[in-house]
Amino acid sequence: MSLGESMALDPGALDPGRAGREAAAAAPGGGSLFALALPMVVSRAGLAAMVLVDCVMVARHGAEALAVTLLAQGTFGRLTDVFLAVLLGPLVLFAAAQGAGARPRRIALWHRALCAALILGAAGLGASLFAEPILLALGQEAGLSAEAGAVVLALGLGLPAGLVAIASAVHLEGAGRARGVALWVLGANFLNLGLNFLLVGGHLGFPELGALGSAIATGIVRLALAAALVWSVLTLEGRAALRPGRALPGDGREQARLGGSAFATAGFLHALGIWLTVFAGWLGALDLAAYASAWLFILPGLLLSAGIGDALAVRLSKAGADGAETPEAARLLRADLGALALVLLPFTLLFALAPETLAGLYAPDPALAAGIAALLTIAGLVLLFDGLGYGLVAALRARGDVTVPMGIQVGCMAATPLLAGALAFGPLGAGGLLGIVAAILVTSTLRIGLLALRAVRHFRR
């Protein structure tokens, strides 16, 4: 759909003169990157904070309980990340549907997103019913598989509500209500903290459920957040939100294309990521807990990158809508990537300079803390490279370049388990856990290099 078609069919669909709209400020690029990104960053970092709180509180029960949580999160929990990518992919369409005149278009997009959320949530819940036998078939220990299966089922029960919350959050962010989303996510964090306190540790008369209690808390929080965000959409759009919307020609195809490409990329990447978790599980519960915990440390930084990347995509989409020439878009991209690098570098340096301190604060178990500390320096480098890669992928997506970046990501990720298997167990050294993370660093470096070359070629046209 072109800008001309959008304006002809719905004069309010794009409103470049509406200052103060987070996704459509008057200046090319839609205003300050951080002004636009901050609420999105808070929302995405808030999701990471909930996962961190879950793991930190479960870690107090020992490495075995933490391994249960992280096995569930690192295998079936990845379905949530894939489905989330499907719903976040069409964000730029929601950002374009601005102004009161665009309300029917926004509502149509939201209704489609809600249908997708419920279908995907039902599929994830169905898959969770078979978690234990699947984990056993993947070679995980019987006791670990049984406990993780119960955790996966609890998470699956809350998945539809969680995806409805994401669909509604995308609608609100696109409509310029990202601050409201951020506030609700912050509130959900406090609720999650309280429920974990009650259900994980068994306080105030509640049973001590450990990893299962954390999963139950997550389900309750997802339901509450979904209710809050749906209510926010209904408040914003009024009674019109309950009636069928009116999309622009091509909206359905574009929403499906963006969501489908995100599903294909994220699904393949996470499927391969599951194998890395399985490899770590073959090394034992302690190594599995150390491996998954190290990547949990970089999750806030990756979600910061995702939030900034979404803002970068909106700014570049807006610059194109305003008729900005490629040199101006290239300047905007360089500035935004530089800002993203400045955000990520402190994480990378902290992980390199104080790994033992950070690991000790996270895990009371000395053996687990030592295992995590040994991986944090490499994890910090992966965070820097992958975070910048998020920004490049978002920039290319804003210019309509989806297929080649997807191929680069899929190709590099496909090589990771092969290299990890060779380094961890095979003829290249049998390096165990360090072999797995070294393989991740190698392919992460290759990926950022190829994406950078693609961006240079694309933005010089």
Is the model more confident about 7 or about 332? 332
CA distance 124 to 77: 9
Q: What's the CA angle centered on 247, arms 245 and 248, to 5 degrees? A: 155
Which percentage of the chain shows pLDDT scores above 90? 17
Non-local (6+) Cβ contacts of 413 within 8 A are 268, 269, 272, 273, 443, 447
Closest CA to 63 of 215, 195, 210, 194: 210
Take residue 332 and report the two structure tokens written for it.
């905007």
> What does the alpha-carbon distance between residue 80 and residue 82 come to, in Å, rounded to a whole number?
5
Give the residue, 399 or 369, on which the prediction is more confident: 369
| Chain centre to alpha carbon of residue 60 | 26
Is the per-residue pLDDT at 98 higher than 50?
A: yes
Q: Is the pLDDT of residue 426 over 80?
A: no
* 263/163 Cα distance (integer angstroms): 14
Return d(Cα 89, Cα 170) in angstroms, integer: 9
| CA atoms of 134 and 231, how far apart (whole Å) | 38
Distances in Å between the Cα of 322 and the Cα atoms of 45, 74, 315, 439 are: 31, 42, 10, 43
| Res. 254 pLDDT band, cuts 50 70 90 | low
* Cα separation, 40 vs 140, whole angstroms: 37
Task: Please tell me the total count of domains within the chain.
Answer: 1
In a domain, 256, yes or no: yes
- pLDDT greater than 90 at residue 220: yes
Taking 3-state DSSP, the helix, strand and coil percentages for the chain, each rounded to the nearest 5, stand at: 80, 0, 20
Q: What is the mean pLDDT of residues 7-22?
A: 28
Q: Is residue 186 part of a domain?
A: yes
- 1 within a domain of the structure (yes/no): no
Residue 243: pLDDT band (50, 70, 90) is low
d(C-alpha 438, C-alpha 449), whole Å: 17
317 assigned to some structural domain: yes
- Residue 442 in this model has a pLDDT that exceeds 80: yes
Phi and psi torsions of 445, nearest 5°: -65, -45
**Dist CA 55 CA 62 (whole Å):** 11
Structure tokens at 22: 């987070």
Domain, as residue range, for 119: 28-459
First-last CA distance in the chain = 21
Residues ≥6 apart with Cβ < 8 Å to 37: 307, 308, 310, 311, 312
pLDDT in the model for residue 153: 92
pLDDT band at residue 171, thresholds of 50, 70 and 90?
confident
Please check whether residue 17 lies inside any domain of the structure.
Answer: no
pLDDT digits (tens, 9 = 90+) for 273-325: 788 888 888 888 888 888 888 888 887 788 778 777 777 776 776 655 444 45
**Is 43 inside any structural domain?**
yes
* Confidence category of residue 434, pLDDT binned at 50, 70, 90: confident
Question: pLDDT at residue 198 above 80?
Answer: yes
Q: Which tens digits make up the pLDDT trace of 129-154?
A: 998 898 888 888 888 888 888 999 99
Q: Around Cβ 8, how many Cβ atoms within 10 Å?
A: 11
List the one residue out of 23, 7, 60 whose CA is nearest residue 368. 60
In this model, does residue 377 exceed pLDDT 60?
Answer: yes
The answer to whether 14 touches 26, Cβ cutoff 8 Å, is no
pLDDT exceeding 70 applies to what percent of the chain? 78
Q: Is the pLDDT of residue 350 over 90?
A: yes
Across the range 194-204, mean pLDDT stands at 88
Please report the pLDDT score of residue 97 as a whole number.
54
Task: Report yes or no on 306 lying in a domain.
Answer: yes
The candidate with the shortest Cα–Cα distance to 155, out of 80, 43, 66, 62, is: 80
Tens of pLDDT, residues 86-95: 776 655 565 5
Average pLDDT over all residues of the chain: 77
On whether residue 363 sits in a domain, the answer given is: yes
Mean pLDDT of 29-43: 61
- pLDDT tops 90 at residue 15: no
Distance CA 180, CA 188 (A): 12
pLDDT confidence of 1, banded at 50, 70, 90? very low
Which tokens hold the place of 237? 């759009």
Rounded Cα distance between 436 and 425, Å, is 9
Residue 398 burial class via C-beta count within 10 angstroms: exposed 0-12, middle 13-18, buried 19 and up: buried
**More confident of the two residues 68 and 318:** 68
Residue 40 near residue 18 (C-beta atoms within 8 A) = no
Burial class of residue 66, CB neighbours in 10 A (0-12, 13-18, 19+): buried
